[in-house]
Amino acid sequence: MSEKGIPFEVTEIDLKDKPDWFLEISPYGKVPVVKHGDRLIYESAIINEYLDEEFPDTPMLGGTPAERAEMRIWIDFCNSRIQPGFVQIARAEADQFDEKVAAVEASFDMLEEYLEKNGRPDPYFAGDRLSLVDASYAPAFERFGVLKDLRGYEIPARFKRIRQWASALAGHPAVKAHAIPQEGLLANYSGWVPESARSQVA
Ligand SMILES: N[C@@H](CCC(=O)N[C@@H](CS)C(=O)NCC(=O)O)C(=O)O
C-alpha cells in the first residue's frame, strides 16, 4: 500500500488474545485482513491482487497473461514453500534440524536457479520497481533474518541471488518503513523453538 500510495490505517492484533470483533471479520482468525469500504478481504496474496486492481495507477502485477502467470507461480512458491520453510526451521526439533534445513534449501535451489536463468533480481524481482512478487518475499526474507539468533541459521552464501534480492528488498523505502525490528520478531518467535533445541543456541 505504501508503494502504491494507498492511504491506510493499521490496527494491530494480539494473536495470543484475539478480540471478538477480529474473529468476526477474519474467517481463519489470521492477519492480515483488509477492510476497504464495506468489503473485507483476507489472504495476503489475494489482498495484494485486489489492491493492485482497485488502485491501478502503479501496477505491481503488469505484463502479459504469461508474465502474470509466472509472477503468480513465484508468489505461490513463497506462500507454499518459503514462508512455511521459515516455520519448519524455527520449530525444528534438534534431531530433525538438518533434515528440515535440507528440505527448505531444496526450495532455495529451485528459486536460485530460476533467478539465475532469468537475470533476476534486477535489483527487485521484475526490475527497478517493486512487484507483487517482491511484496510476498520481503516479509518472508525478513523472518529468515531472525533465524540467525533463533536457530543459528543463515541463508547460505551459495544462494547468491536470493541473498542479493533479500538485501535489496530490506533497503527499499516502502519495505523499510514497515520493517518489524528483529528484536520484535525474536520476541514473537522465540516461543517456537522446541525444548530439544533450547540448550544448543546461546
Ligand atoms: N496464508 C495467510 C497466512 C496468514 C498467517 O499465517 N498469519 C499469521 C501471522 S503471520 C496469523 O495470523 N497467525 C495467527 C493464528 O494462526 O492464530 C496469508 O498469507 O494471509
Binding site membership of 44 for ligand 1 (Cβ less than 6 Å) = yes
Query: Does 102 share its domain with 31?
Result: no
pLDDT tens per residue across span 20-29: 999 999 999 9
Atom 16 of ligand 1, residue of closest alpha carbon: 30
Q: Answer whether residue 202 shows pLDDT above 70.
A: no
For residue 62, pLDDT over 90 is answered with no
Tell whether 69 and 45 lie within a shared domain: no
pLDDT recorded at residue 46: 98
State whether 114 and 183 are in the same domain: yes
β-strand 39-42 against 33-36: which pairing, if any?
Answer: antiparallel
Q: Is the CB of 70 under 6 A from ligand 1?
A: no
Contact 31 CB / ligand 1 (< 6 Å) = yes
- Are 34 and 42 contacting, i.e. CB atoms less than 8 angstroms apart? yes
| Residue where the block lists cell 536463468 | 117
Rounded CA-CA distance 138/69 in Å is 20
Q: What are phi and psi of 33, to 5 degrees?
A: -130, 135
Measured CA distances, 135 to 15, 138, 166 (Å): 22, 6, 11
Q: With a cut of 70, say whether residue 87 has pLDDT above it.
A: yes
Nearest in space to 200 (alpha carbons), one of 143, 160, 151:
151
Per-residue pLDDT at 42: 98
89 and 33 within one domain: no
Is residue 5's pLDDT more than 60? yes
21, 45: one domain: yes
Average pLDDT over residues 155-179: 97
What is the CA angle 140-146-147, rounded to 5? Answer: 95
Do 94 and 151 lie in one domain? The reply is yes
Predicted confidence band of residue 199 (pLDDT cuts 50, 70, 90): confident
Test site for ligand 1: of 28, 30, 86, most ligand atoms within 8 A of the Cβ: 30
Closest CA to 3 of 46, 67, 39, 51: 51
Domain total for the chain? 2
CB 194 within 8 A of CB 89: no
Looking at the fold, whether 24 and 99 belong to one and the same domain comes out as no
- 33/40 Cα distance (integer angstroms): 7
Q: Whole-model pTM?
A: 0.95
CA atoms within a 13 Å half-sphere pointing along the CA-CB vector of 80: 8
Is residue 139 over pLDDT 90? yes
pLDDT tens string 10-60: 999 999 999 999 999 999 999 999 999 999 999 999 999 999 999 999 999
What range does the domain containing 2 cover? 1-58
Radius of gyration in angstroms for the set of CA atoms belonging to the chain, rounded to a whole number = 18
Q: Is 41 in the pocket of ligand 1 (CB under 6 A)?
A: no
CATH number for the domain including 28? 3.40.30.10
Confidence of residue 200 (pLDDT cuts 50, 70, 90): low
User: Do residues 80 and 12 share a domain?
Assistant: no
Same domain? 112 vs 81? yes
Beta carbons of 166 and 155 less than 8 angstroms apart: yes
Mean pLDDT of all residues in 108-112:
98
Q: What type of residue sits at position 106? A: A
Residue 138: pLDDT over 60? yes
